Structure formats: structure tokens, C-alpha cells
């Protein structure tokens, strides 16, 4: 392929006498005459020092730029935002978390579209910035590679961020003193990298690699490591190869690639947020995907990974035995992955996995097919009169598979948290946290603070929690989120009253409110929509444009 074809977007920006002013601007940032003849590779960095997940990504961006330059391109690094769920959880600030996914996608599209980059590397290291990066790359549809920033190391005594959240609940229950809580607080987060279990960050990194948008191994590397630096440099070079072969995200992010991603997420016991993000990513690239696809794939794919939050091990321990590549080879040999899917290497998934070694003998992080953690998916898509268009639960079986209890209704996360901590919430309750959906929140906050408090107080097997909000990848227990239609749209969750009986069945995949259809209709007629919680600014814009969680909570539907 000629340089002109590799430069289909940058050439109109810098070629010819009429673009002298453009070249003058670029000379000031380091371009030479030779650079104007090279394909331009934008490196989208999510660096900031406000969270350990992203505090090291400026260095990774420079490695990616170095790789692109060495391969014959001209790199330009630019930043997009990130926010910290771990810091914002339990506060009003958490309403901006899912919103940030759309802002990130918008900003990557905006910068690359304006500047005329021919290809891109995007580097993400936290829950929302990874799907946000992929959605931005998909909108642009230019040769691109995603790089994961890498996982954090365990804290002292095998602790992590979830250990801190649960310590708060343990203290409220009288099972931990303040000195012990402070010790965990001081040592659980030892340095850079994303949260250490199979929480949303590691889940999405694994899904993106399984989809073929990252180089093999990118999802299972320590944030501070030579392998991660090499991954970044190789990603920069890979974009030039993709330009030569004219391979774009739409060639990689196919229907079968999304099925591969779902399969790997299930095998790893990944976060419920993967459902929301994979639906959003599929919508952006124009692939038809819906909640039933998770149901059908889940019937044949077991949970094989004994990883936190419901399991024992951390991502860094999976890294030490080979990451997810051997698992993907197991799934491929079992006929559970599509091996013919194209990837950012320019080769198929099967070709990438051909020389991958099996896990070492004696490891017990990834189980064999004849000894699964769970025989089918832990991601349960529930339907019923309480959620006619679907809800998402993460049920590993350790919580049980059925729960019937009396509703205890709250109109915000904060209200529920107060009643958990003061002992109002008791065994047998089904906590209903509503008006926390994409529109109603707005922003669909994670319920990590209340779920951690429930676990810390020892109620994990005795209390259920349902919400039109969502959950952190670190949440566990008998929890159901993404209930749709959400309360702000008059969905049935808005009609639940204190004392109503609610039954959750994770075998038959149902969630039912035990009232008659006539009573449901009577309550609906009496219901009045609440006033919007935000009337100006980004939250208000989000509430006006966001779609249902059942189709990915995207803001750019045609």
C-alpha cells in the first residue's frame, strides 16, 4: 500500500501549498519535512494522577508513540478524561462515572476526527475509559489498537480495594476495630494499576482482547512491568501494519467477535458491567447484540476461573500462570470460540493461539471443564413483571439461586446505606434502590458501597438487593441490577411498596413482584414522574439522550 493510501486522513490536512498554515502549526510541536510524508498515529492517553488505575499511563503512551515512530509513522499523544469509581462510590460524584464513558468516546472521536489521524492507539486503565476508548475507535473506524494499562499488585495480606469497602461494614458490625480498618486502608492499594480482582477493569480488558482489539496478552499483564512496556511499543507498531492491510475496527468487531468476548467474560466470572458495555460497544459499531445473546451463550459456557470477588485469586496471580491466552485456547479447543475472527495482529484468533502453552500443572486458578466453578453462566438475565425488558444479576451459586423476601424501598443509594449501617436492614429483606438508572440518577451509579456494607455486616446470604442502577465488578452477594424499564420511566420497580413480596429465581431467570396485574395497573395509574434531578450541564444532557440499560445506555442512537 502506498503512503498516500496510508495517509488518507492526514494528507488532506498537511499536503499542498494551501496547507502551509497547518504545517507551520505542526512544526512547532516537532514535525520535520519527513514527518509530513508519514501516516499520523494518534495515541489517546487516559493518564491522570487522580487514580492508581491511570497514574502510569503517560509513560505507556510514550512507549506506544515510540513504537509507531519506529515503524514508520508519526505519533501525536493526546489526552482524554478519566474518573475514579473507587473514590466516587457512595457519593453524588458517582453519577458521572458511566457518563464519562460517553465523554471519552466523544473526545477521542472529536480529536482524531479534527486532526486527521490515520490510525490510533488508545490506552485505558479503568472501568469506563476502556469501553469509552473502544467506542471512540469504533466510531472513527480507522486502523486502531487498544492497550490495557495493566493490573495492580495485591496489597498487604492479599487485600485490595474491595477489602477496604468491606472493612467498613465489618467495623459497623463490631467485627473489626478502627486500627484494623486503617491498616487495610493504608496497605490495600500499593501502587499503579487497575483493581486487582476480576472486577470491571480486568473484565473489560479480557473482553477486548478476546474480541481481537488488543494484542495477545495485553489484558493479563502487571501495570508496572517490562511486558506492559513492550505491549505498548508493539501496539504502536501494529497500527502501521493495520494501515498497510487496511484492517479497521469494523473488520474485527464482528458479531462472532462479540460472542467470543461474552464467552471469555463468562469463563472468567466477570463483571455485570460487561453486559452494559458490550451492548454499548456493539451498538456503536453496528453489530446486533441483545440480552438474549448472553442467555444463549451462558447455557453452554461454564465459569472456570476462581477469581475475586466471589473467588479467591487476583489478576496478578492469573498473570503469573499465563493470563487468559491458555484459557482462550481451552475454549477454542472445546468449540466455544470462533477461531476465524480477525484480530489486530492481522491474523485470526486461532492463528494467535496456535503456539500458546497450557497452564502449568498443579495450578487451581483456572479449573478444568469437568470441574467448573459453575456449570453455566454466572451472568443471569432476568425477566418478569418487575423487569419486563430485562435485568442483570451476577449469581455464582455461592449466594444460592433463589431468594424470596419483603421489599424495603429506598429512593437513593445514600438512604439505603444509612439503613444498612444503622441496623434497620435485617435478614429476609429485599432492598429496592430505585431512581438510580441512566435517566433517573442520572448516571446509573454503582451500588458498591451498600453491597460491601451488606457483606461486611455478614448479611451477604440473608439479604438481596435490586436496583435500576448497576454494580461494581467488586460487588457480590444476591444482587440484581440494570432493572428495566427504570423507575424514572415508570417501570414496575417504581411501583414497589414496602412489605411487598419479591421472588428472584436465578435458575428460571425470573424476578417477580407478588401483586396482581390489576394492582400493578392501579399503582401505575397513580404514579407520577419525579422532577429531573439535573436540569443543566452534562448530567442533564446525558439524561435527555441516554437509552435504556437493556440496550447499552448509549447516547448516540440514530
* Ranges 216-230, 334-348, 460-474: which has the least confidence: 460-474
Residue list, annotated binding site for [2Fe-2S] cluster? 53
Phi and psi angles of residue 222, each rounded to the nearest 5 degrees, phi first = -70, 145
Binding residues for Mg(2+) are 85, 127-128, 446
DSSP class of residue 468 equals: S
Closest to 555 measured CA to CA, from 213, 258, 131, 257: 131
pLDDT at 3: 53
Predicted TM-score of the model (pTM): 0.97
Angle between helices 200-211 and 255-268 (to 10 degrees): 140
Where do the domains of the chain lie, and which CATH numbers do they carry? 38-153+191-353 (3.40.50.2300), 379-551 (3.50.30.80)
Angle between helical axes of 273-285 and 95-115 (0-180°, round to 10): 30
Q: Strand 379-384 to strand 119-124: parallel, antiparallel, or no bridges (unpaired)?
A: unpaired
d(CA 509, CA 557): 29
Reported as a single tens digit per residue, the pLDDT across 338-350 is: 999 999 999 999 9
pLDDT digits over 513-555, tens only? 999 999 999 999 999 999 999 999 999 999 999 999 999 999 9
74-79, strands of its sheet edge to edge: 74-79, 40-45, 119-124, 144-148
Residues 6+ apart with CB under 8 A from 119: 39, 40, 41, 42, 68, 73, 142, 143, 144, 239, 240, 242, 243
Report, as an integer, the average pLDDT of 412-419: 95
Q: Please enumerate, by residue number, every residue annotated as part of a binding site.
A: 53, 85, 127-128, 446
Please confirm, yes or no, whether 472 is among the known catalytic residues.
Answer: yes
> Per the residue annotation, which of 84, 472, 548, 550 is the catalytic one?
472
* Residues 144-188: tens digit of each pLDDT: 999 999 999 999 999 999 999 889 888 988 999 999 999 999 999
Determine how many CB atoms are found less than 10 A away from the CB of residue 397: 15
Amino acid at each position: 500500500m502506498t503512503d498516500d493510501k496510508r495517509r488518507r486522513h492526514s494528507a488532506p490536512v498537511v499536503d499542498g501549498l494551501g496547507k502551509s498554515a497547518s504545517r507551520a502549526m505542526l512544526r512547532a510541536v516537532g514535525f520535520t519535512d519527513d514527518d509530513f510524508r508519514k501516516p499520523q498515529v494518534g495515541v489517546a492517553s487516559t493518564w491522570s494522577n487522580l487514580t492508581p488505575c491511570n497514574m502510569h499511563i503517560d509513560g505507556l503512551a510514550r512507549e506506544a508513540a515510540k513504537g509507531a515512530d519506529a515503524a514508520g509513522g508519526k505519533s501525536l499523544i493526546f489526552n482524554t478524561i478519566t474518573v475514579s469509581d473507587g473514590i466516587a462510590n457512595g457519593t453524588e460524584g458517582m453519577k458521572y462515572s458511566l457518563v464519562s464513558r460517553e465523554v471519552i468516546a466523544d473526545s477521542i472521536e472529536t480529536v482524531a476526527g479534527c486532526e486527521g489521524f490515520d490510525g490510533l492507539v488508545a490506552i485505558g486503565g479503568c472501568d469506563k475509559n476502556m469501553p469509552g476508548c473502544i467506542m471512540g475507535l469504533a466510531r472513527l473506524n480507522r486502523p486502531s489498537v487498544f492497550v490495557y494499562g495493566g493490573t495492580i499488585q495485591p496489597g498487604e495480606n492479599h487485600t485490595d480495594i474491595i477489602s477496604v469497602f468491606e472493612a467498613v461494614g465489618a467495623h459497623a458490625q463490631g467485627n473489626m476495630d478502627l486500627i484494623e480498618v486503617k491498616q487495610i486502608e493504608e496497605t490495600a492499594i500499593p501502587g499503579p494499576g487497575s483493581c486487582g480482582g476480576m472486577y470491571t477493569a480486568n473484565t473489560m480488558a479480557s473482553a477486548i482482547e478476546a474480541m481481537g482489539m488488543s494484542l495477545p496478552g495485553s489484558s493479563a499483564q502487571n501495570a508496572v512491568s517490562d511486558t506492559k512496556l513492550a505491549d505498548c511499543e508493539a501496539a504502536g507498531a501494529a497500527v502501521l501494519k493495520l494501515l498497510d492491510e487496511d484492517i479497521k475496527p469494523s473488520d474485527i468487531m464482528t458479531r462472532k467477535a462479540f460472542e467470543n468476548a461474552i464467552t471469555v467474560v463468562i469463563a472468567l466470572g466477570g463483571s455485570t458491567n460487561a453486559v452494559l458495555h458490550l451492548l454499548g460497544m456493539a451498538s456503536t459499531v453496528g453489530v446486533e447484540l441483545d440480552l438474549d445473546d448472553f442467555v444463549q451463550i451462558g447455557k453452554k459456557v461454564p465459569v472456570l476461573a476462581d477469581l475475586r470477588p466471589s473467588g479467591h485469586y487476583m489478576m496478578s496471580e492469573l498473570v503469573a500462570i499465563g493470563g487468559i491466552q491458555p484459557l482462550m485456547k481451552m475454549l477454542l479447543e472445546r468449540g466455544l470460540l470462533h477461531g476465524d475472527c480477525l484480530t489486530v495482529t492481522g491474523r485470526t484468533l486461532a492463528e494467535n493461539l496456535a503456539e500458546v502453552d497450557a497452564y502449568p500443572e498443579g495450578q487451581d486458578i483456572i479449573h478444568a471443564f469437568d470441574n467448573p466453578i459453575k456449570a453455566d453462566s454466572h451472568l443471569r438475565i432476568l425477566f418478569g413483571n418487575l423487569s419486563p425488558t430485562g435485568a442483570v444479576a451476577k449469581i455464582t451459586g455461592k449466594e444460592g439461586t433463589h431468594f424470596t423476601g419483603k421489599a424495603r424501598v429506598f429512593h437513593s443509594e445514600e438512604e439505603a446505606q444509612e439503613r444498612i449501617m444503622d441496623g434497620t436492614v435485617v435478614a429476609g429483606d429485599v432492598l429496592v434502590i430505585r431512581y438510580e438508572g441512566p435517566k433517573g440518577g442520572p448516571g446509573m451509579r454503582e451500588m458498591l458501597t451498600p453491597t460491601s456494607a451488606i457483606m461486611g455486616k455478614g448479611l451477604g446470604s440473608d439479604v438481596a438487593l435490586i436496583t435500576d442502577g448497576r454494580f461494581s465488578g467488586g460487588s457480590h452477594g444476591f444482587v440484581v441490577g440494570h432493572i428495566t424499564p427504570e423507575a424514572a420511566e415508570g417501570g414496575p420497580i417504581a411501583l414497589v411498596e414496602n412489605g411487598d413480596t419479591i421472588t428472584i429465581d436465578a435458575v428460571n431467570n425470573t424476578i417477580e413482584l407478588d401483586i396482581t396485574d390489576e394492582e400493578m395497573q392501579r399503582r401505575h395509574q397513580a404514579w407520577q414522574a419525579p422532577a429531573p434531578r439535573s436540569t443543566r450541564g452534562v448530567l442533564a444532557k446525558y439524561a435527555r439522550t441516554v437509552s435504556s440499560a437493556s440496550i447499552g445506555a448509549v447516547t448516540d442512537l440514530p
